[in-house]
Structure 1
């Protein structure tokens, strides 16, 4: 993997082709975030659009530890907390919102995290460049629900995308999704259950896992009366997945 300079004054570019599953947003950054972006991006940042050829997700970390892919890391608080509590795995966070990237870089430095790298751009483009079976886990926490019916085609958790993500998991690797949008949660549950090589680790929705930190976003959802739904599935052989579905 290589990284190039990320200009904080320029909004994230849209993919050249295909349907975006995210909505790039402009945002103002604090002086601390701007400083973190300028100083730390060359060391910890990965420009997905600049990648050329196959991608080894472990390469930026310089060791052979299991890799967790975080899709949509937001402001990075949850990613930083999980990485700090899980030093034996490496966390590759993907985000399109520049202030969130900058904030995570600042957290990486402040907490001395060696097991975090931050990628900017379309996570699906990055995943397509990875070999099969290279990820220990994929986290998709609070993706854009695209609530209008005409926008459902933009949702990240849909059959084709799930098949791609699952193919990059190791045997026994986990795909962990969370949302506070009830209708999307049910669509996620049905989509994940239909995949021939995923088995639900629980009977339906998972109890809230202790390893997923409560973020400001989640607190706002709970305050507004929106429950949070977790779904945790593991990659298994097709026959085992069919047995698990019963």
Structure 2
């Protein structure tokens, strides 16, 4: 019998600066009710009247996730982020904006995806994930064939996947691996389709830092 090994972590540190006491208290109060329950995830049980269910993978500080949830109150927005400070920031955004259509997974998104039913999501966002720029670390990148296959499983036909990065090598990597899966069709017809932020995009703090080696690139795919 082969020994089972968990997947390599696709993210780095889990915490940076200490969380301020007031924010820590808010997290302690709100996160238990915002956290996606353990076990099989049934979106209809989390928000019975939701028109659709969306997932943001690695929501960072939660700005994009909260803004999308605010714009689409009839959509259930799931967010996954292992970084403690990011989760605390997201909880604050959710609380301040009075959002009732966001649920959080404070851990590895692959564990959450495995618990989602097939064809349960209408949109997935992967915005500026950890690029793991060194070649020896590429195996830690989130976008791998097995992850792409799982996203194809949980996305509905016609569902949309958006990947964005400001690292040229990761853009090429993602385009190759997602493009290799026949379940996805890239929607670009001209250069502006990947160079210009989509009309519904919300700029994040990380994006504004411009830490990569190229201007932000946006790849939109549709689930066949």
Correspondence for 2:86: 100
How many residue pairs are counted as aligned between the two chains?
216
Cα distance in 1, alignment partners of residues 213 and 158 from structure 2: 34
Q: Give 1:17's aligned residue.
A: 6
Mapped partners of 2:209, 2:183: distance in 1: 34
Distance change in 2, residues 1:62/1:19 (3 Å): same
Distance 1:19 1:117, change over 3 A: same
1:212 pairs with one of 201, 207, 217: 201
Q: Cα RMSD (Å) of the superposition? A: 1.8
Residue 85 of structure 1: CA displacement?
1.1
User: Which residue in 2 is equivalent to 1:5?
Assistant: none
CA offset at residue 225 of structure 1? 6.6
Residue in 2 aligned with 1:122? 108
Structure 2 partner of 1:31: 21
Q: Can you list the C-alpha shifts for 1:72-115, whole angstroms capped at 9, x where unaligned?
A: 01111111111111222111010111121111111111111111
Cα distance in 2 between the residues matched to 1:105 and 1:82: 15
Shift in Å, 1:65: 2.6
Structure 2 alignment gaps of length 5 or more: none
1:41 alignment partner, one of 8, 27, 31: 31
Structure 1: 4+ residue segments shifted above 4 A: none
Partner of residue 65 from structure 1, selected from 51, 54, 57: 51
Matched, 1:171 2:171: no
Q: Do 1:58 and 1:65's aligned partners in 2 also have CA atoms closer than 8 Å? A: no
Q: Check the 8 A contact 1:83/1:91 in 2, yes or no.
A: yes
Q: 2:72 is matched with which residue: 86, 103, 119?
A: 86
> Under a length normalisation based on structure 1, what TM-score does the superposition of the two structures give?
0.82
- Are residues 1:229 and 2:186 paired? no
Aligned pair in 2 of structure 1 residues 192, 136: CA closer, same or farther (>3 Å)?
Answer: same
TM, length-normalised to structure 2: 0.90
